[in-house]
Amino acid sequence: TQLLEQSPQFLSIQEGENLTVYCNSSSVFSSLQWYRQEPGEGPVLLVTVVTGGEVKKLKRLTFQFGDARKDSSLHITAAQPGDTGLYLCAGVAFYGGSQGNLIFGKGTKLSVKP
């Protein structure tokens, strides 16, 4: 069974601090996505990374896909209260399954205090 271990599970920081969320697996993924979910809503796609070593930036968010395509990280610079939410990583298995057959991590619940 493929698993995506996400850490930390919970993170509470002050506005202006930096943070990194990690997503690790012993399996190789063909692509990996990061989602953000707010209470009462479904996950919203932030980014998809496909190439090993790929780095993508989305304003203050930086996403990296590991060289071996087994891990990924999300770094937020100067966090703001609006960044509060549940961050989920999800991977597509390298062998078999459709693109929608996503393997999700359990999520990181981020709280940014003003």
Residues 15-44 that bind another protein (CB under 8 A): 30-31, 40-44
Please report how close the Cβ of residue 95 comes to another protein at its closest, in angstroms.
Answer: 13
Nearest-angstrom CA–CA distance, 63 and 47: 8
Of the candidate residues 26, 59, 82, 98, the single one contacting another protein (CB under 8 A): 98
Please report how close the Cβ of residue 41 comes to another protein at its closest, in angstroms.
Answer: 5
Q: Quick one: DSSP state of residue 100?
A: T
Biggest CA–CA distance in the chain, Å, is: 45
Stretch that binds another protein, among 17-25, 58-66, 70-78, 88-96 (CB under 8 A): 88-96
Provide, for the chain, the percentages of residues in helix, strand and coil under a 3-state DSSP scheme, each rounded to the nearest 5.
Answer: 5, 55, 45
How far is CA 89 from each of CA 16, 50, 114, rounded to the nearest angstrom?
Answer: 23, 13, 26
Which residues contribute to the site for another protein (CB under 8 A)?
Answer: 4, 30-31, 40-45, 48, 50, 88, 90, 92, 97-107
